[in-house]
Amino acid sequence: MASRAADFPVAGGAGAGFRFRLPPVGAVVPLVALLMAWQIACLTGLFPPQVLVPPSGVARALVDMTQSGELQRHVGDSLFRLTVGFAIGAVAGMAFGAVIALSRLAEAALSPLFMTLWQVPVIAFVPMMVMFLGIDEPFKLAVVAIAAFFPMALATFDGIRGVPRNWFEVAKVYRLRLPQLIRRILLPATVPAVLTGLRVSLTRAWVVLVAAELLAADSGIGQMMEMGRQLFQIDVVLAGVMVSGLIGFLLDRGARWVESRATRWRAA
Amino acid sequence: MTPYPHAREDRLSAKTGRGELIVSDLNKSFTINGQPRRILDNINLTVRPGEFVSIVGASGCGKSTLLRLIVGLDTEYSGELRLDGERIATTSLDRGIVFQDHRLFPWMTLEQNIELALLNTDTPRARRAQIVADHIALVNLKGFEKAYPHQLSGGMAQRAAIARALVTEPRLLLLDEPLGALDALTRVHVQSELQRIWMAQRSTMVMVTHDVEEALYLGDRVIVMSPNPGRIRRIVEVDLPHPRDRRSPLLHRLKDEILAELTSGADADGDAGNLVHLPSREAR
């Protein structure tokens, strides 16, 4: 047995060795190249500064808005909406997904409607929602919640339906009671699918929120860009593009980190 | 070296039964495409306490169905299934099972997987860790307590599944082609392990397999079943003490006999076996 112990992969390090690891600098190179090309395009006068502000100009706008606190206010407002709206949508989505996964009756009754609504771009609901909810906070929270709801419900449904029947047999053989079955088998078995759903719906909710703010809002990163456009402050618009992209990137990375931490038991 | 806990004898005697399985007039049908189809036909069998019984037969002879009925995962049958006189109506911690796929939960360590089986036993909490450790030692997996199933080889995972099935100290352990998914070398190794475990444990075991050699190597008796519908065709007594030598001439002679029985049986039964009709034969 001692000889076998040698090829037992140490927990945490499992599988990591096979992946090609790009040094962190490597990912920065294309970004720097893009910024340089952008800067050169501006310096050569290929585009007039009213249309394309150089990266240096965007950087200056970012610094100014940070110093005045304007950027923080917009980002803060957007993240607040994301947090609240996402929490509502994700919880509702999980509950709905669980119900249609566990009840054949609910599935038969609700899934056609669900699947139809799921095909509608969330933005298409905006005009109607503005009429019902106005353009205040409830409207934006509702948009975010709807955006998070669908992928979350779908992921939860797939997660629960994907639990192998075999595992329920094992639970039956060991006489697990329903609460034990739920806590020890059903929940852990659906965690990977639900976490993937959370990541997908979180980034989706962010994109939809920024878009909704572009259309109708009095604050937030999207509204900041829209105001910049109206005032021909292209540097502000581009600063908004960069900040929303960065936030989306960080949300995805954060969710992936949580995902990999929570499912370390999976084969790498 | 027998790593098995010494307290075994006391705990066994505290239990009501000794692991005697009686199957009488057992019939089982499934409905396939609206048609009832007989899967098991009038099965009668008594497994003595502490005995190792192997069941062999062609696929479709209902041998896995029989195990599912005995373990209580399927409860629709006519006839009698009794363990120590008690009629089998559902699953019970007195009856353990090892499936062909190990069915360990991937998010639990080896230790946690085995401990799960003790969740609803009356084993005091304080003693559980020790009992789990004893059973990990029993299947020679010491050092892998914290390993996740994907970090174990196929043979190791199957031994872990055996440990999980044994940890509740079932009076009867059912093995449903437990080594079917293993490669030939691992298979031989785990067969020897299984024999050693059974000798240390001495609980009643019923194993379904399609490997005649395996059935003979482990079984005190080998039940030969024939398909369509599943019937007991013959019961072979293997009068050799354990531990056994694979090269024993008796085992080889019995193997030839059983194989002849299994392959000729198809002809005797008529339709089932003759998948290829030779035109020359039919012409005559």
The reply to whether A92 falls in a domain is: yes
The reply to whether A46 falls in a domain is: no
- Give me the pLDDT at residue B208, please: 95
Helix axes A234-262, A70-102, angle to 10 degrees: 40
Q: Quick one: DSSP state of residue B152?
A: S
The ipTM (two decimal places) reads: 0.83
Of all residues in chain A, the one with the smallest CA distance to B168 is A174
Of all residues in chain B, the one with the smallest CA distance to A3 is B143
B101 touches chain A (CB under 8 A): yes
d(CA A188, CA A199): 17
Number of domains chain B contains: 1
- Give me the pLDDT at residue A225, please: 92
The reply to whether A161 falls in a domain is: yes
Query: Which among A14, A169, A177 has CB closest to B73?
Result: A169
The reply to whether B71 falls in a domain is: yes
- Give me the pLDDT at residue A135, please: 80
pLDDT in tens, B9-36: 444 433 446 889 999 999 999 888 888 8
Measuring CA to CA, which residue among A202, A84, A60 is closest to residue A139? A84
CA A203 to chain centre: 2
Contact A96, A149 (CB under 8 A): yes
**Which CATH number does the domain housing residue A181 bear?**
1.10.3720.10
The reply to whether A130 falls in a domain is: yes
d(CA B257, CA B189): 25
Instruction: Identify all chain A residues contacting B91, using CB atoms and an 8 Å cutoff.
Output: 172-173, 175
- pLDDT class for B275, splitting at 50, 70, 90? very low
Chain A nearest CA to B95, separation (Å): 8
The reply to whether A99 falls in a domain is: yes
Contact B170, B199 (CB under 8 A): no
The reply to whether B3 falls in a domain is: no
Percent of chain B with pLDDT over 70: 87
Residue B251, domain extent: 8-272
The reply to whether B76 falls in a domain is: yes
- Give me the pLDDT at residue B9, please: 42
How many CB pairs below 8 Å do chains A and B form together?
A: 69
A165 touches chain B (CB under 8 A): no
pLDDT in tens, A39-59: 888 888 888 877 788 888 899
B22 touches chain A (CB under 8 A): no
Of all residues in chain A, the one with the smallest CA distance to B116 is A174
**Which CATH number does the domain housing residue B51 bear?**
3.40.50.300
A169 touches chain B (CB under 8 A): yes
The reply to whether A223 falls in a domain is: yes
Of all residues in chain B, the one with the smallest CA distance to A264 is B107
Query: Which among A8, A177, A185 has CB closest to B147?
Result: A8
Number of domains chain A contains: 1
Contact B144 A8 (CB under 8 A): yes
Of all residues in chain A, the one with the smallest CA distance to B137 is A1
Contact A234, A52 (CB under 8 A): yes
Mean pLDDT computed over A24-39: 86
Test the A interface: residue of B141, B151, B152, B176 with most A CBs within 10 Å: B151
- Please report where in the chains the tokens 């990375």 appear, as a residue: A253
Q: Which of A40-54, A208-222, B68-82, B218-232 has the lowest mean pLDDT?
A: A40-54
The reply to whether B283 falls in a domain is: no
CA A168 to chain centre: 32
d(CA B209, CA B39): 17
Residue A226, domain extent: 75-262
- Give me the pLDDT at residue A19, please: 59
Average pLDDT, chain A: 87
DSSP A222-257: HHHHHHHHHTT-HHHHHHHHHHHHHHHHHHHHHHHH
Q: Does residue B77 have a pLDDT over 80?
A: yes
Instruction: Identify all chain B residues contacting A191, using CB atoms and an 8 Å cutoff.
Output: 107
Q: Does residue A23 have a pLDDT over 80?
A: no
